[in-house]
Amino acid sequence: MWRVVCATLVLLAGCGQILPERSAQSYYRFEDGAPTPAPRAQPIPHAVVVSPISSNAVGNAYGMSFSRASGERAFYQYNEWTDRPTLRVAQLLVQRMEARQAFTSVTRLGSGVSGDVLVNVVVDDVVHDLSAGGGGVGRISVVVEVVDRRQRRLLGRHTFVESAPAAAPDAAAGAAAINRALTAFLDEASAWIESVVETSN
């Protein structure tokens, strides 16, 4: 009996061929893929504060979601984002507007710097959509609100939905496609915020 037990243990331990090893965890970060934008000739004379608004949406989770059918969501088992989407997207929007020198100042809420324009950012959905087959597309949906803090007045609200094709039906290709969609969002949102604030004067 003892020989049988020993032989079984040897087989189970041998070369990892009988018991499959757990796949390594991979982490991806949201990044702005655009080159540094050209600065405005003259900043808009307003101080902007960007506020990331947390939500319980699947799209605001650390897990990287994918979809194989409309209305369906699942998470890649061994792949996650390094940051919560809303926090990171808000940070990248601040960096984009700072680089653009679009306003007198651009900071994130909680930095201790006051501002007269509030920009609320809510990431509603981030997904590698595989429902159409092939490599699928990376898609991001973000709600942005611009508020006049002094008059407590909503200047504008817009839902941005951007997508980009993925090269393969896997997490790495999905993350790369989502980052291209994110870059498109930053292009559109930063220009829209400038327009809304400028026309409100």
pLDDT of residue 114: 87
Band of the pLDDT at 21, cuts 50, 70, 90? very low
Q: What does pTM read for this prediction? A: 0.86
Domains along the sequence of the chain with CATH: 44-200 (3.40.50.10610)
Q: Residue 67 contacts by C-beta under 8 Å, 6 or more apart in sequence?
A: 73, 74, 127, 128, 129, 130, 131
43 contacts 98 by C-beta, under 8 angstroms:
no
> What is the pLDDT averaged over residues 57-68?
89
d(CA 76, CA 138): 14
pLDDT of residue 65: 96
pLDDT of 67-85, one tens digit each? 999 889 999 999 999 999 9
pLDDT of residue 12: 39
> What is the pLDDT averaged over residues 83-93?
96
Q: Which residue has the tokens 């159409």?
A: 132
Band of the pLDDT at 124, cuts 50, 70, 90? very high
pLDDT of 104-116, one tens digit each? 999 999 888 889 9
pLDDT of residue 20: 39
Task: With a cut of 60, say whether residue 172 has pLDDT above it.
Answer: yes
> Quick one: which of 82, 111, 78 has its CA closest to 94?
111
Band of the pLDDT at 11, cuts 50, 70, 90? very low
3 state SS of 146: strand
3 state SS of 176: helix
First-to-last alpha carbon distance for the chain, in angstroms, is 88
